[in-house]
Amino acid sequence: MKVIVGNEKEISQLIADEFVKVVKAKPTAVLGLATGTSPLMVYADMAKAYKDGEVSYKDCKSFNLDEYVGLEGTHDQSYRYFMTENLFKHIDIKLENTHVLLGVGDYKAYMNQYDKEIDEAGGIDIQILGIGSDGHIAFNEPGTPFDSLTHETELTEQTIKDNSRLFNDISEVPTRAVTMGLASIMKAKKIVLIATGKNKAKAVYGLIKGPITEDMPCSILQKHPDCTVYVDEEAYSLVK
pLDDT digits (tens, 9 = 90+) for 7-63: 999 999 999 999 999 999 999 999 999 998 999 999 999 999 999 999 999 999 999
Number of Cβ within 10 Å of residue 216's Cβ equals: 19
Q: What is the mean pLDDT of residues 62-83?
A: 95
Q: Looking at residue 205, what is its pLDDT?
A: 98
Cα separation, 196 vs 93, whole angstroms: 28
Q: Looking at residue 165, what is its pLDDT?
A: 86
How does DSSP classify residue 103? -
* pLDDT at residue 225 is higher than 90: yes
Question: CATH number for the 2-236 domain, one of 3.40.50.1360, 3.40.50.2300, 3.40.50.280, 3.50.50.60?
Answer: 3.40.50.1360
Rounded to 5 degrees, φ, ψ at 152 are: -95, 145
Q: Looking at residue 158, what is its pLDDT?
A: 87
Q: Looking at residue 95, what is its pLDDT?
A: 97
Rounded to 5 degrees, φ, ψ at 138 are: 55, -135
Q: Looking at residue 42, what is its pLDDT?
A: 98
Cα separation, 166 vs 40, whole angstroms: 14
Q: What is the mean pLDDT of residues 108-118?
A: 97
Helix axes 40-51, 8-25, angle to 10 degrees: 50
In this prediction the pTM is: 0.95
Q: Is 31 left (phi over 0), alpha (psi -120 to 50) or beta?
A: beta
Residues annotated as part of the active site: 66, 134, 136, 141
Q: What is the mean pLDDT of residues 118-145?
A: 97
User: Structural domain boundaries of the chain?
Assistant: 2-236
% pLDDT > 70, the chain:
100
What pLDDT band is residue 166 in, cutting at 50, 70 and 90? confident
Cα separation, 113 vs 78, whole angstroms: 20
